[in-house]
């Protein structure tokens, strides 16, 4: 980190890093709340919304400048809304301009409650419009989407279908260009553009081309107003009713940070959670839509020999099957947390020599896209390595005949590679802990339902070697479901009080986890020391 | 011919009028190389240019006090001195011929009548700045001018005056003509650079300024046609000779395009600091009784008749009158005209031409346009003149990326204050004009 420099904000000296955007310096270091519509920390600076205007001392006295484009430099003297009435006046003017052509449809707008325009409108304090009725609004929009409303006003397009995932309400757009910049800078496929100019400028796709990209739902997040909305969440919930917990993308080893938002016994959406070191502000559409599976096709109870049973009966049957077996194959899972796998290792210790642990995955590994997916669908593959588990799943298929019991959790072996998994059918007792009614459950002799990824607290290690924490969303298809670590610890005859105890058990096995705690990992995760360093420390 | 004010009087009040820029304007076929050469075109290059070092040329232009003729009036020599020397990247010279200011038609005259003087000026400037490639960004609608320009460039190439080793020297320059699509904002230098690069014509955030990182991220100098056309004369006759006209801060001559209530509208070259009323006489006199005058293109704040009578045509005098010389487009209007309708027309122009980036200008210009429209339609209420001004105030003090915002606000502010009685007359037409609008109050507890 470079040495801090001193800038003067509202007459007070503030220590800030050199050459960062002034808006970040104001927000983070000077603790001055600075509004912005077009500025986004993970996009280039466009400087067109003008609401972050501040006064900056120059050779000819104080002049307006925008905090998002200006960089901190020694001796910079800034007046914000705190000390300058002119700044307040200018920002109110910007707010009036932004609102003059914006429809007053907050009551039916999905963005209401998390809308930057709405927040700043409340902050600006200028609540009544002074737009004369007879002057009318200039509604934005392309000629194709114009219509005349019941009052005879010319309106911009409503509900324009941009592509498979996104709808556009043109008249709400404030032309901040964030979505355009996202598509060209992050998605690297410039599918959106601003057509027209002046107050008739509007967002559009290229003629005849839809907006289709694996990340295009992120434009609904960067949109500061309700112009771009995802079809999956349109008119589903008022956002202020949603409660949220922080979690991690369970579908990819990159471990994009997400927020699970739920209400009324249902998960309504997943949102990206900004982590500058991991996924920045972006998640893939595939990650975002994972919530749709949480209430579908769940294994909410147990199944013993193909017959539905309650969870207790399932657990008893599983314990009996393991006890009766002479040789047990335990399969670790990269889809489970570090805690789950620590419980599996505890079961291995309890069973002693009659058990063997196998690890790995038969899922194909793709290429990283450089945004928020590593291409590896096994989210916690690095966590298995941290626990010292070797990638030897193929050996299990070859040596299936040696075993007479199999314990699998959170791991759809038959779904990943049915041909290899078919060899496991030689094992007579197949105990499967699964959240969904998947292909592996279909092959199980005893299947016990467990909590899915959204419903557990635990840690995963991503492809960058960063351990990240997921929190449990309290929406369960069956309240009696237990996380995998709890069921597995039960098989081992242990009673672990909490995830923290499971994590402590994992730490006892892995030098690289030494010294960590959930608090130390925190919402942004913690980078694990390299194996060699950890060994030297131990 | 008479439409453009030519042939011009050679003398005015016993003194020769300057012919720095308009030397060939009334010469038949002056745009062809043969005729232009017979009148001394390219003599600067053959006689003066390559004997001097580039820095001497920049100093000469700086000493002459030549100021940018596009509208802002920035000292040309100073602009050139900002270009870094000996960098890794090429330096580009871009000629701004995107003449779009309403009332301005001097550059099209230059391109049509004397394109060789522009080319000569570009060679001088290019040599001074170390430019290898230069562009001329021409407004797309000016088709005959573009044809004349292309013809002149071809002639110059054929005569060895462009391309490799110009006139036997070691200096080489290529000129490309780029046709714009007719957007007013492409006359703003960074908007022009964006359009030149193939992007939408929207001004860029500054810094970096074009002198450091302009076209294709290389140092770029953008100059108006008329500015560059003055350079050969200055180099031939010297900075001191150029200062025989005008004042200390506004030396030299300038092309003025006058239209409106005047007997002989057209393009005239006169020394700077000529009084407006004297200039009107030169142009055949005003028709009708003067009500007001737009002194420098539609974005310049309007002057009332009294102010016009006190003002001279130079940068300082107009600055003192809180207006500007701008592009030198003068539009006097007489008492038969309605200032409200003039402003309506101007406001509509700026609402149409705002590039759509910065909120205050993007939404504000259209807002003002619609409020003026409703006022003209008879929906005005008491206090609307102040209301309109308060809207324009929001994009006046450089709250935007470029100077379009101030330029769009000045006519609104000046018209509604200086011709308030005309606006009040429209408001009085509304039988309900005394009904108050809901005044905006800022709620207590506002955060900012």
Domain ranges of chain A: 5-99, 105-115+137-146+154-235, 302-464+479-494
Q: How many CB pairs under 8 A join A and B?
A: 142
- Answer yes or no: do B313 and B353 share one domain: no
**Residue at which a domain ends, from B242, B274, B308:** B242
Cβ separation of B393 and A92 shorter than 8 Å? no
CATH code at position B423: 1.20.1440.230
Q: Can you give the pLDDT at residue A104? A: 81
**How does pLDDT run across A355-381, given as a tens digit for each residue?**
999 999 999 999 999 999 999 999 999
- Which CATH number is A105-115+137-146+154-235 given? 3.30.70.20
Measure in Å the smallest separation between the Cα of A214 and chain B Cα atoms: 26
Paired with A466 in beta bridges are A527
Residue of B nearest to A128 (CA): B440
Which residue, chain included where needed, has tokens 């140092």? B219
Query: Looking at the 3D structure of chain B, how many domains does it have?
Result: 3
Asked if residue B434 belongs to a domain, the reply is no
Asked if residue B200 belongs to a domain, the reply is yes
Range of the structural domain that residue B297 is part of: 253-334
- Answer yes or no: do B232 and B269 share one domain: no
Cβ separation of B443 and A126 shorter than 8 Å? yes
Contacts of A201 in chain B (CB under 8 A): 356, 362
- What is the token pair recorded at A147? 């219509």
What is the maximum alpha-carbon separation in chain A?
88
Short-list A232, A277, A293, A340, CA closest to A436:
A293
Asked if residue B174 belongs to a domain, the reply is yes
* ipTM of predicted assembly, 2 dp: 0.91
- Dihedral angle at the C-alpha atoms of A398, A402, A407, A409, nearest 10 degrees? -10
Q: What does the DSSP assignment read for A133-195?
A: TTT-------GGG-EE-TTS-EE--SSEE-SSSEEE-GGG-----HHHHIIIIIS----EEEE
Q: What angle do CA A114, A120, A126 make, to 5 degrees?
A: 135
**How does pLDDT run across A382-428, given as a tens digit for each residue?**
999 999 999 999 999 999 999 999 999 999 999 999 999 999 999 99
Mutation site for B-interface testing, chosen from A92, A132, A203 by largest number of B Cβ within 10 Å: A132
Asked if residue B5 belongs to a domain, the reply is no
Q: Work out whether strand B91-97 and strand A458-461 pair parallel, antiparallel, or are unpaired.
A: unpaired
Cβ separation of A201 and B362 shorter than 8 Å? yes
Mean pLDDT of A314-343: 96
- Answer yes or no: do B76 and B201 share one domain: yes
Which residue, chain included where needed, has tokens 């919402």? A523
Cβ separation of B439 and A130 shorter than 8 Å? yes
Q: Are A330 and A373 in contact (CB under 8 A)?
A: no
Q: Can you give the pLDDT at residue A536? A: 57
Cβ separation of B365 and A81 shorter than 8 Å? no
Q: Are A477 and A300 in contact (CB under 8 A)?
A: yes
Contacts of B357 in chain A (CB under 8 A): 46, 48, 175
Cβ separation of B354 and A199 shorter than 8 Å? yes
Which residue, chain included where needed, has tokens 């001279």? B312
**How does pLDDT run across B114-170, given as a tens digit for each residue?**
999 999 999 999 999 999 999 999 999 999 999 999 999 999 999 999 999 998 899
- Answer yes or no: do B55 and B171 share one domain: yes
Q: At what angle do helices B225-237 and B106-113 cross, to 10 degrees?
A: 60
Asked if residue B445 belongs to a domain, the reply is no
Residue of A nearest to B381 (CA): A132
Cβ separation of A123 and B200 shorter than 8 Å? no
Tell me the C-alpha to C-alpha distance, in Å, between residue B357 and each of A120, A169, A227, B362, B402.
Answer: 19, 19, 17, 6, 10
Say what percent of chain A tops pLDDT 70: 98
The model's confidence at residue A157, banded by pLDDT at 50, 70 and 90, is confident
Measure in Å the smallest separation between the Cα of B200 and chain A Cα atoms: 9
**How does pLDDT run across A102-144, given as a tens digit for each residue?**
988 899 999 999 999 999 988 887 777 788 878 878 877 777 7
Mutation site for A-interface testing, chosen from B188, B356, B374, B409 by largest number of A Cβ within 10 Å: B356
- Answer yes or no: do B89 and B144 share one domain: yes
Contacts of B363 in chain A (CB under 8 A): 97-98, 100-101, 138, 199
Short-list B368, B358, B366, B448, CA closest to A91:
B448
Mean of per-residue pLDDT scores for chain A:
93
| Cα(A179)–Cα(A43) distance, integer angstroms | 10
User: Across B143-252, where does the E strand assignment appear?
Assistant: 174-179, 220-224
- Answer yes or no: do B103 and B186 share one domain: yes
Mean of per-residue pLDDT scores for chain B:
92
Mutation site for B-interface testing, chosen from A134, A196, A200 by largest number of B Cβ within 10 Å: A134
Identify the DSSP state of A26: I
The HSE-up count of residue A149 (CA atoms within 13 Å, CB side) is 12
* Residue B365 reports pLDDT greater than 90: yes
Measure in Å the smallest separation between the Cα of A198 and chain B Cα atoms: 4
- Answer yes or no: do B174 and B52 share one domain: yes
**Residue at which a domain ends, from B242, B272, B307:** B242
- Answer yes or no: do B80 and B26 share one domain: yes
Mutation site for B-interface testing, chosen from A135, A153, A190 by largest number of B Cβ within 10 Å: A135
Q: Can you give the pLDDT at residue A149? A: 77
Phi, psi for residue B309 in degrees, rounded to 5: -65, -25
Residue B316 CB contacts under 8 Å (≥ 6 apart), including other chains: B247, B249, B250
Residue of A nearest to B356 (CA): A198
Identify the DSSP state of B432: T
Cβ separation of A127 and B443 shorter than 8 Å? yes
- Answer yes or no: do B382 and B324 share one domain: no
- Answer yes or no: do B198 and B282 share one domain: no
The model's confidence at residue B3, banded by pLDDT at 50, 70 and 90, is very low
Considering only CB atoms, A198 lies closest to which of B365, B381, B400, namely: B365
- Answer yes or no: do B284 and B393 share one domain: no
Mean pLDDT of A189-193: 95
Cβ separation of A199 and B367 shorter than 8 Å? yes
Q: Can you give the pLDDT at residue A258? A: 97
Measure in Å the smallest separation between the Cα of B358 and chain A Cα atoms: 4
Q: A5-99: what CATH class? A: alpha beta
Contacts of B398 in chain A (CB under 8 A): 63-64
Give per-residue burial for A256-286: e unless 16+ CB within 10 Å, then b: bbbbbbbbeeebbbbbbbebeebbbbbbbbb
Contacts of A130 in chain B (CB under 8 A): 387, 437-440
CATH code at position B266: 3.10.20.600
Q: Can you give the pLDDT at residue B10? A: 84
Q: Can you give the pLDDT at residue A261? A: 97
Considering only CB atoms, B370 lies closest to which of A93, A128, A138, namely: A138
Considering only CB atoms, A97 lies closest to which of B394, B401, B443, namely: B394
Say what percent of chain B tops pLDDT 90: 86
Q: Are A291 and A497 in contact (CB under 8 A)?
A: no
Cβ separation of B367 and A131 shorter than 8 Å? yes
Q: Can you give the pLDDT at residue A150? A: 79
Q: Are B162 and B156 in contact (CB under 8 A)?
A: yes
| Cα(A178)–Cα(A70) distance, integer angstroms | 18
Contacts of B364 in chain A (CB under 8 A): 93, 97
Contacts of B444 in chain A (CB under 8 A): 125
Mutation site for B-interface testing, chosen from A48, A61, A81, A133 by largest number of B Cβ within 10 Å: A48
Cβ separation of A136 and B355 shorter than 8 Å? no
Residue of A nearest to B372 (CA): A135
Contacts of B397 in chain A (CB under 8 A): 64, 90
Q: Can you give the pLDDT at residue B2? A: 40
Q: Are B157 and B173 in contact (CB under 8 A)?
A: no
Contacts of B358 in chain A (CB under 8 A): 47-50
- Answer yes or no: do B36 and B72 share one domain: yes
Q: Report which secondary-structure segment, H or E, holds B256.
A: strand B253-258
Q: Is the pTM of this model over 0.90?
A: yes
Cβ separation of A123 and B446 shorter than 8 Å? yes
Asked if residue B285 belongs to a domain, the reply is yes
Q: Can you give the pLDDT at residue A538? A: 45
- CATH architecture, domain defined by A302-464+479-494: 3-Layer(aba) Sandwich (3.40)
Asked if residue B371 belongs to a domain, the reply is yes
Coil, helix or strand at residue B192: helix
Contacts of A141 in chain B (CB under 8 A): none
Asked if residue B383 belongs to a domain, the reply is yes
Residue A348 CB contacts under 8 Å (≥ 6 apart), including other chains: A330, A355, A356, A357
Q: Write the secondary structure of A409-428 as one string of H (helix), E (strand) and C (coil).
A: ECCCHHHHCHHHHHHHHHCC
Contacts of A87 in chain B (CB under 8 A): 448
Question: What are the percentages of helix, strand and coil residues in chain A, rounded to 5?
Answer: 30, 20, 45
* Residue B268 reports pLDDT greater than 80: yes
């Amino acid at each position: 980190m470079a040495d801090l420099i001193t800038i003067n904000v509202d007459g007070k000296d503030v220590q800030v890093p050199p050459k960062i955007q002034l808006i970040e310096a104001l927000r983070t270091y000077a603790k001055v709340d600075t509004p912005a519509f077009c500025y986004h920390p993970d996009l280039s600076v466009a400087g067109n919304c003008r609401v972050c205007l501040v006064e900056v001392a120059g050779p000819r006295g104080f002049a307006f400048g925008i905090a998002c484009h200006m960089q901190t430099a020694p001796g910079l003297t800034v007046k914000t809304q705190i000390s300058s009435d002119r700044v307040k006046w200018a920002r109110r003017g910007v707010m009036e301009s932004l609102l003059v052509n914006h429809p007053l449809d907050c009551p039916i707008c999905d963005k209401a409650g998390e809308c930057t325009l709405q927040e700043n409108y409340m902050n600006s304090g200028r609540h009544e419009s002074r737009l004369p009725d007879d002057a009318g609004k200039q509604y934005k929009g392309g000629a194709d989407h114009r219509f005349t409303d019941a009052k005879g006003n010319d309106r911009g397009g409503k509900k324009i279908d941009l592509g498979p995932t996104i709808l556009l309400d043109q008249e709400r757009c404030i032309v901040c260009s964030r979505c355009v910049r996202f598509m060209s800078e992050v998605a690297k496929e410039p599918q959106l553009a601003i057509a027209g100019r002046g107050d008739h400028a509007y967002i559009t796709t290229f003629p005849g081309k839809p907006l289709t990209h694996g990340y295009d739902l992120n434009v609904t997040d960067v949109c500061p107003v309700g112009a771009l909305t995802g079809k999956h969440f349109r008119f589903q919930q008022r956002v202020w009713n949603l409660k949220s917990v922080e979690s991690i993308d369970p579908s990819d080893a990159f471990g994009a940070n997400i927020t699970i938002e739920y209400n009324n016994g249902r998960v309504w959406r997943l949102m990206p959670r900004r982590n500058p070191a991991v996924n920045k502000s972006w998640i893939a559409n595939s990650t975002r839509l994972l919530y749709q599976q949480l209430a579908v096709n769940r294994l909410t109870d147990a199944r013993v020999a193909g017959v539905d049973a309650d969870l207790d009966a399932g657990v008893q049957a599983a314990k009996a099957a393991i006890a009766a077996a002479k040789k047990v194959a335990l399969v670790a899972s990269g889809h489970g947390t570090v805690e789950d796998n620590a419980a599996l290792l505890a079961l291995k210790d309890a069973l002693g020599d009659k058990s063997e642990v196998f690890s790995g995955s038969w899922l194909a590994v793709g290429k990283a896209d450089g945004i928020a997916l590593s291409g590896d669908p096994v989210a916690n593959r690095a966590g298995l390595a941290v626990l010292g588990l070797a990638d030897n799943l193929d050996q299990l298929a070859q040596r299936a005949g040696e075993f007479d019991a199999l314990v699998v959790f959170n791991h759809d072996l038959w779904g990943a590679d049915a041909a290899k998994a078919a060899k496991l059918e030689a094992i007579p007792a197949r105990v499967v802990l699964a959240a969904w009614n998947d292909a592996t459950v279909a092959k199980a002799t005893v299947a016990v339902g467990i909590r899915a990824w959204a419903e557990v607290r635990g840690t995963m290690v991503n492809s960058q070697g960063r351990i990240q924490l997921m929190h449990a969303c309290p929406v369960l298809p069956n309240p009696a479901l237990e996380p995998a670590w709890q069921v597995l610890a039960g098989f081992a005859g242990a009673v672990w009080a909490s995830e923290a105890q499971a994590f402590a058990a994992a730490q006892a096995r892995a030098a690289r986890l030494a010294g960590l705690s959930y608090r130390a990992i925190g919402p942004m995760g913690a980078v694990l020391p390299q194996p060699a360093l950890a060994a030297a420390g131990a | 011919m008479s439409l453009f004010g030519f042939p011009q009087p050679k003398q005015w009040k016993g003194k020769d009028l300057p012919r720095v820029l308009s030397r060939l304007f009334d010469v038949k076929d002056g745009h062809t190389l043969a005729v232009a050469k017979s009148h001394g075109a390219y003599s600067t290059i053959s006689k003066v240019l390559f004997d001097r070092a580039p820095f001497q040329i920049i100093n000469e232009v700086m000493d002459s006090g030549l100021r940018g003729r596009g509208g802002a009036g920035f000292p040309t020599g100073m602009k050139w001195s900002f270009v870094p020397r000996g960098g890794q990247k090429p330096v580009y010279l871009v000629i701004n011929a995107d003449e779009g200011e309403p009332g301005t038609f001097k550059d099209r005259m230059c391109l049509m009548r004397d394109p060789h003087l522009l080319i000569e000026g570009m060679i001088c400037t290019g040599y001074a700045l170390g430019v290898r490639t230069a562009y001329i960004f021409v407004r797309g609608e000016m088709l005959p001018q573009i044809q004349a320009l292309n013809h002149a460039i071809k002639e110059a190439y054929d005569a060895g005056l462009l391309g490799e080793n110009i006139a036997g020297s070691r200096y080489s320059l290529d000129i490309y003509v780029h046709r714009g699509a007719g957007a007013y904002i492409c006359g703003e230098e960074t908007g022009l650079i964006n359009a030149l690069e193939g992007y939408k014509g929207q001004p860029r955030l500054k810094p970096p300024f074009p002198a450091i990182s302009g076209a294709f991220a290389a140092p770029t100098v953008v100059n108006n046609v008329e500015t560059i056309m003055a350079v050969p004369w200055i180099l031939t006759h010297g900075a001191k000779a150029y200062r025989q006209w005008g004042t200390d801060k506004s030396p030299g001559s300038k092309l003025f395009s006058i239209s409106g209530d005047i007997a002989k509208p057209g393009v005239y070259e006169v020394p700077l600091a000529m009084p407006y009323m004297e200039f009107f006489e030169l142009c055949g006199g005003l028709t009708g009784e003067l009500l007001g005058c737009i002194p420098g293109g539609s974005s310049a704040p309007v002057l009332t008749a009294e102010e016009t009578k006190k003002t001279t045509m130079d940068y300082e005098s107009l600055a003192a009158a809180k207006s500007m010389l701008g592009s030198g487009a003068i539009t006097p209007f007489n008492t038969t005209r309605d200032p409200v309708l003039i402003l309506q027309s101007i406001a509509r122009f700026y609402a149409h031409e705002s590039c759509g980036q910065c909120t205050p200008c993007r939404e504000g210009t259209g807002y003002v346009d619609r409020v003026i429209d409703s006022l003209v339609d008879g929906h005005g209420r008491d206090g609307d003149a102040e209301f309109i001004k308060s809207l324009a105030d929001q994009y006046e003090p450089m709250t935007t990326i470029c100077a379009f915002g101030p330029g769009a606000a000045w006519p609104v502010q000046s018209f509604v204050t200086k011709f308030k009685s005309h606006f009040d007359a429209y408001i009085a037409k509304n039988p309900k004009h005394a009904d108050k609008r809901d005044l905006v109050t800022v709620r207590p507890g506002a955060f900012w």
